[in-house]
Each structure stands twice: as C-alpha cells, then as structure tokens.
Structure 1
Amino acid sequence: MNTESTTVAPQLAPVQPHQRGGTLLLVEDSRLTADYIRLLFRGAAGRLRRADCLLSARRHIALYTPDAAIIDLGLPDGSGLDLISEMARRLPRTKLIIATSGDPDREEDALLAGADRFLPKPFGTGAQFAQMLAPVFLGLRPAIKGAQPPTHAALRDDLYLALDLLNGVNARPAYAGQFIAQLACMTGDTALEHAAQTGDRAEITTLLRNRLRALPLI
C-alpha cells in the first residue's frame, strides 16, 4: 500500500477584485526579481510595496494588511516560511499569500506554513503569476512577448551584492550561496548555477565579475 501523502494547495474562497487601491506586498531581496515583478504587475488596479527582508516586511504588516503577498523563502535575515506562518495566523488575514523560490522542493514546506499558492522561479512570461493574482487585482495580464526586461542597473546591483556577500568585509557565505543560486535561476545562467551548486568560491567570483564586465556602462 502506498502510504505517501500529497500536499494539496488549499482552495481559495472567491475574492472580489479591487476596482482601485489594493496592495501587493512583495518580500524579495533581489532587485532584479523585484523589478521583474513590477513589470508583470504593471497595469493592475493596485499598489505594489516591496520589503527586502523579514524586518522590513514586519514593519509593513504592523501598519496595514496587504490584499496579497508574494514572499521569497530565502531572505537575508531568516526564512520566508516564518513570515508566511505569521501572516497566515494574523487577523485580518491577507487574502492571498504566495510563496516563491527557485527550489521547487520547497513547495510543500510553504503550503504547510500557510501559503495559499507556490510560484516557482523563474517566472517565464508571467502567465502563472497573472493567473494567481488575477482574482485579487483587476487588469493583470501575462507579460506580452517583447516586453521591456528588468533594467541592467537592477542586475548590476544584484551582481555587486553577490560579490559583497561572497567576499566582502562582512561576507555571509551561506546566504550568498542561496542568493547567487536564485540569481542564476532568474537569469537562466547555467554556468553560474552549476558553480553555486559546487560551492567553488573562486569560480563563482570569476563568473560574477565577468557578468559585470559584460553589462553596458549605462
């Protein structure tokens, strides 16, 4: 007999889309990913607010209850699972809590923590993103082919941050590894992804510096 259990995403109650207003809280440490989500969210009837760590996110939810939240599981000051658990228990509850990660194996943990949905990285054309948020925000559509990509400035910021986390004065190798793996996932950089998996700091450093040199100066 097969005794394995399967985690099933909870069914959301019908949600009336906001004609105006409404807030999406994005808890994401990567500027590149945040810019990408801003592009996907463009045109929706609502506001997007970003927090780049657990501390900042908790300051947000102490002031208001967002209508939806997208929470990255790997954050600089802890696990997004803790924030998901807190928001799932908080009253009034955020209508839609979405966990996101480049590691699809984290889905079960996210749902058990209280997330309503799981959004794997990379986001592709944004069809799944739009499908998840459409019940809450009007006007949300999948990104059209040829849409403007996130800026080089956002990618440059993430590359510099990765180098600093890896080799800086206050280096944080464990967090650096997960941040770089997520960055490689979002950019489709297989060489960087492989280096992050092996943990070869010298190779990762060389790849990050090469990626920076390849970016336009402006």
Structure 2
Amino acid sequence: MEDLMLRRNPTRDHPLLGLTVLVVEDSRFASDAMRLMCLRSGARIRRADCLCSARKHLKVYRPSIVAIDLGLPDGSGLELIRDLSAARPRVNVLLGMSGDTNLLNNALEAGADGFLNKPLENLGYFQQTVLTHLGVNPQAASLRAIEDRGVEPDLIAYQDDISHAAELLQEQRDESSLAYATQFLRSIAKSAGDTSLEKAAKSLSKATAQGYVPNSIIRDLLSLLKKRMAQKAAF
C-alpha cells in the first residue's frame, strides 16, 4: 500500500507534491478537470468511476486524499465516505463532491472533512480546500500563493459523457435507473456550462420527482444529446 506520509516535499510551484488523490467520479469531463488540477499541483491521481471500482482500488492502494462524487451509478458516495471516515488508518483528507450545494451537510455528517462544489474549474479553490484540510497554511512562506486560475478539461471527455448519458436514457428500465440518468445529465451539463442541456435535465428532474415522465421529455432530451454528439467532429 502507498505510504500515507509525503514521499517528496511540496514546492512553491507544486504544493501537493508527494500526495496521491483517488477521485471517485463517473463523469469523464469532471475527472479530467481533477486530473489537470492534480497535475498542476504536483499530486498523482487515480480514478474510480463507481463504488465497486473504488473499493477494489482501496484494497490495493492507500491514497492520501479521496474525493468522492455523491451520485454514482451503483449507489451514493455517502456510503463510501462513511466507510472511509470510520476506517483505521484513515486517509488524510476525505472530500465529498457535488454540483448540488444542498448536499454539503450530508457529506460532512457522513464524515467528510470538506466539500468540493462542481463545476471543478478553479485551481486555487481546489488547492485551498485540500491544503486547509491537510492542516497546511496555504500562504505559508514555503509555498507559492494560491493561484486563482481556471482549468479547461478536454471537450472530448464531455462528448464521452454525452454519449453515455444518451445510452442511459435509452436503456433506463425503472425509476432508479431514470433517477441516476437524470442526476448524471444535470451534473455533466453544469460542469460543462451547457445551459441548454442543464435546463432540459432540470425539466426531466422535475417530472421524475412528480412521478410521471412524458415520453416527449425523453424524446426532446435525446434529440438534444444527438445534436451534441454531432458536434464532436468540430473538436
């Protein structure tokens, strides 16, 4: 297992040098944002796209930091947060992630040290959050002042998410699978700043909450997703 202690000392340019971050995230676009932020911070990154994959990973590796999306295909990220919070030895930093800020308290009550709001697009916000929960003063003399700059994830990753969302909508068989497809759609649209798709996903979410989803909503969403997929060649 990986040593919990830092193997290399952080530098002014790479304040998270020596740390390994496990990102449990189903969106490729959000994962790419995390990859860029970890890369620019000096941290190594590993990714799991569901609870099952994360648990298998944790049997082999011991990351320094675990960041867990709260909406995953095989369950709630809160389950894994509870387990990791109670585990001994405990990971250094345990973070919940979601585009729904109302879930912040849920993550903290489950045992998370902190919370990352989606979209994940600001390097300074990411570094500040991690360093604070590591007990490091981000403005310490040995570290460079936190940079307030953004990252730009690969749009091809967003296309992959769009394709996956279309598959989820076409294959959904029950309320549970439709609820996950709806949540996934809202999450990726918000992360990418795709306001049209986010609005359509909210309409689906509202209909799902009311217990009746007209076929027209699914049909219109699939049409919008197909238009997004047709734009792939432009990237």
TM bin, normalised by shorter chain, reads: 0.7 to 0.9
Matched, 1:80 2:80: no
1:205 matched residue in structure 2: 222
CA deviation after TM superposition for structure 1 residue 47, in Å: 1.3
**1:135-146 equivalence runs, <5 A:** 136=134, 142=147, 144=149
Q: Structure 1 residues 17 and 96 mapped into 2: Cα distance closer, same or farther (>3 Å)? A: farther
SS of the aligned residue for 2:97 comes to: strand
* 1:89 aligned residue (86, 91, 110): 86
Q: Distance in 1 between matches of 2:124 and 2:226?
A: 33
Q: Distance in 2 between matches of 1:125 and 1:188?
A: 14
1:4 matched residue in structure 2: none
Q: Distance in 1 between matches of 2:145 and 2:232?
A: 31
Q: How many residues align?
A: 202
Amino acid at match of 1:212: M
SS of the aligned residue for 2:40 comes to: coil
Q: Distance in 1 between matches of 2:75 and 2:145?
A: 31
Matched, 1:69 2:74: no
Amino acid at match of 2:225: L
Greater Cα shift, 71-80 or 42-51:
42-51
**1:6-45 equivalence runs, <5 A:** 18-19=8-9, 21-45=18-42
**1:116-135 equivalence runs, <5 A:** 116-134=113-131
* 2:183 aligned residue (158, 178, 182): 178
Q: Structure 1 residues 143 and 161 mapped into 2: Cα distance closer, same or farther (>3 Å)? A: farther
Determine which structure has greater relative contact order: mean sequence separation of CA pairs < 8 Å that are 6+ residues apart, divided by chain length. Answer: 1
- Per-residue CA distance 1:98-118 (angstroms, 9 max, x = gap): 101010100010000000001
Q: Structure 1 residues 142 and 32 mapped into 2: Cα distance closer, same or farther (>3 Å)? A: farther
* 1:187 aligned residue (179, 192, 206): 192
Amino acid at match of 2:117: P
- Per-residue CA distance 1:110-164 (angstroms, 9 max, x = gap): 000000001111123232111112355988954746x5x2223211110110000
Matched, 1:167 2:157: no
| TM-score normalised over the length of structure 2 | 0.77
Q: Distance in 2 between matches of 1:104 and 1:43?
A: 26
- Per-residue CA distance 1:70-125 (angstroms, 9 max, x = gap): 10000000000000000000111011111010101000100000000011111232
- Quote the RMSD (CA, aligned, Å): 2.5
1:9 matched residue in structure 2: none
- Per-residue CA distance 1:35-89 (angstroms, 9 max, x = gap): 1111111133331000000001001111232110110000000000000000000
1:6 matched residue in structure 2: none
SS of the aligned residue for 2:66 comes to: strand
Q: Which has the higher helix share?
A: 2
Unaligned runs of 5+ in 2: 10-16, 137-142, 205-216
| TM-score normalised over the length of structure 1 | 0.83
Amino acid at match of 2:162: L
Q: Distance in 1 between matches of 2:126 and 2:156?
A: 23
Matched-pair contact (CA < 8 Å) for 1:41–1:140: no
SS of the aligned residue for 1:134 comes to: helix
CA deviation after TM superposition for structure 1 residue 214, in Å: 2.1
